Amino acid sequence: MINQIFYFLLFLVVSQFALAQNVGNFQISERQGEVWAPINLRTKVTYRWLNNQEGAREIRWSAIVETSWNLDYSASSTATPNTTIRSKGNRFLVETSSMETIVSLAGNRQLKLQWRSSKPLLVDDNCRKNALAFLAETSISTPFYIGVSCIFKNEQATLHLSFPNDVELSRSSLFETIGKGESYRVYDLKKITAAKTALGQFTFSYQGKNYNYSLFSQRGETNENKVYRSRFTAALGGGALSLKTVANTYKDTKPFAVLALRPQTLFSQLAAGINFESSIGSVESANVNTLSYFQVSGYATFRLPIYSAWEFQPRLYYVVSKQDSGSGIGYQTGQFGVGFWNEFKFTDRFSLWIEGMTEAIGSPVIKEHKFVEISLFYRDDVSEAGWTLAGQFQNYTVSDALANVRKFDQSFVVVKRSF
């Protein structure tokens, strides 16, 4: 069971590099004489951030469109500025920063691709988690997307603002350092010291209507990686321990406790943390089925934001682990391990965390090892504190000097509180 979970999660993590996040709605029309008629084609709409030649961050949406036409030998083109198109087989890809794009395909076929959304779309990159909120001042639904990206360095904050080419930023109370007259702007916010205050106002104009936004500081504290502030996690739960030998299987249930120092920044995106985990209750020599488990794992982690809703962290661990049993069979080892941690953010409050690790690298004792923890996290407002419901699965396959193989399994469910 643990093997299946581990390899499934490993596949899930790797596959996320190839998958993007759907945004908004989408409409495709084909020119038929003098009119545009809607057509139904299977479409995957995504977005991504990029750095342009001026040093500003821009957001662009792209669409992968499946057709019934052979596009391998056709010339595909578009007259829309800042738009690229590529085709292969029966698919074509359009990437643009315009709300509306017209493309030309084989056989004098013209298609109009239009970005549409039933609700406002704000693509946030590193702003909200650092207590900067870009909020609409009215309840009017904004029919276009806005991207905000925040960069913090040496307590200095920089805001990168991106919006469609079809939209005009008609007013801004801040002075842009890059992008005047463009669909991207960069603002130097200096050091933010005021708590819960407006930092700037913005008015966007689109199709004859104005849409007002404000940038707020929701906390007086700015830190390049606030997620890595010094915070602790404590947890209690319970679960099952088991030991399998060639001759016997021993099983026990125990309460379980965790105390963790959450990752602290060492340099830039690099951070480190440590976890203490232990079953509660001693081993009874008179009862061969009693088992106990203790583990300390220190790790270095490197933060890699992939999308605003997904963060991936490769990790290097050093783990000291021990398991005892009433039968006198156990193990104790100190070993390096490698793994990953992921956050998939559903909303500003709810996230799915997935952690995986293995120590079975060059160890003469550990023949196989897998550690998986799946957590549902509920965040307190804009802070990084909150409640977590976690399921943890771990197994060790170890051998002694006589090549006797033993399998140790731990499965726990715990409720965590970070503060």
| Pick from 294, 201, 245, 256: nearest CA to 390 | 256
- Name the residue with tokens 């085709």: 87
Residue-level pLDDT at 179: 92
Q: Could you tell me the domains of the chain?
A: 22-116 (no CATH), 121-217 (no CATH), 226-418 (2.40.128.90)
Give me the sheet containing 100-105, strands edge to edge.
35-38, 25-32, 109-116, 100-105, 77-78
* Torsion angle in degrees (nearest 10) through CA of 117, 118, 123, 127: 160
Residue-level pLDDT at 159: 93
Contact (Cβ atoms closer than 8 angstroms) between residue 188 and residue 156: yes
Residue-level pLDDT at 124: 86
Residue-level pLDDT at 411: 94
pLDDT in tens, the chain (419 residues): 555 554 444 444 433 333 333 344 678 888 888 899 988 888 888 888 889 889 899 988 888 888 888 876 555 667 677 788 888 888 888 888 888 888 887 777 888 888 876 566 888 888 887 788 888 876 667 888 899 998 888 768 899 999 998 899 999 988 899 998 899 999 998 766 555 677 888 999 998 889 889 888 876 444 433 433 547 899 999 999 998 988 889 999 999 899 998 888 787 678 899 999 999 988 887 788 888 989 999 999 998 866 657 888 999 999 998 888 888 888 888 889 999 999 888 876 788 999 999 998 877 778 899 999 999 998 876 556 789 999 999 999 988 766 778 899 999 999 999 88
Contact (Cβ atoms closer than 8 angstroms) between residue 368 and residue 375: no
From CA 143, how far away is CA 321, in angstroms rounded? 55
From CA 270, how far away is CA 304, in angstroms rounded? 10
**What is residue 287's DSSP assignment?**
-
Residue-level pLDDT at 306: 66
From CA 161, how far away is CA 146, in angstroms rounded? 7
Q: Parallel, antiparallel, or unpaired for β 350-358 and 331-345?
A: antiparallel
Q: Is 191 helix (H, G, I), strand (E, B) or coil?
A: coil
From CA 215, how far away is CA 202, in angstroms rounded? 8
From CA 249, how far away is CA 259, in angstroms rounded? 30
Backbone phi, then psi, for 281, in 5-degree steps? 120, 145
